[in-house]
Amino acid sequence: MITIDLDSSVPVADQLVGALRDAIMTGTVSPGHSLPSARQLGGDLGVHWNTVARAYRELAADGLVYVVRGRRAVVRPRAHWAEIARNRVRADALTHVREAVARARVAGMSADTLRAALDRELARLGERRLS
C-alpha cells in the first residue's frame, strides 16, 4: 500500500516515486504487473493524476517500468533494469559533460585547456588520451 504525506516537505511526486521504486525493487510489485492508471491511482491517493503520470515517467526513465500511452505503467522484467540504467547513466554523463564544457567556455577556458583537463582525468582513470 502506498501512502503519501501531503504535509511533508518532500514533493508528492518524489514520495510516489520512492514508494513505487521500493515496491518494485522489493518484489511487492512483480515484473509484468500493471500499475493502476494515473487517474485511478491519483484518485485513490487524493492527488492530481498528472503527479502520478510524472512519477510513472521518472520510473520509466529509470528503466523500472514502461508506459503504455493512455493506459498503464507495466513493471519491466529485472533482466532489463541494469541495461536501461546503464543507458540512462551514459545519457546523464553526456549531459553533465555538455554542461561542464559550456560553463568552462563561459569562464573563458580554451578548447585546448579543456582537452588537457579531460586528458588528465582520463589518464587518472587509466584511459588513453583523446587527441
Contact 41, 55 (CB under 8 A): no
Q: Are residues 72 and 37 in the same domain?
A: yes
Task: Tell me whether residue 118 is in a domain.
Answer: yes
Same domain, 70 and 104: no
Is residue 51 in some structural domain?
yes
Across the range 73-102, mean pLDDT stands at: 81
The domain boundary residue, chosen from 56, 76, 96: 76
Dihedral sign of CA atoms 7, 8, 14, 20 in order: negative
pLDDT tens figures, 100-112: 999 999 999 999 9
Residue 128's pLDDT band, with cuts at 50, 70 and 90, is: low
Which structural domain, as residue segments, surrounds residue 26?
Answer: 12-76
Do 95 and 46 share a structural domain? no
Residues 41 and 83 in one domain: no
- Whether 115 maps to a domain, the answer reads yes
Place 1 in a pLDDT band, splitting at 50, 70 and 90.
confident
Q: pLDDT per residue over 9-38, tens digit each? A: 999 999 999 999 888 888 889 999 999 999
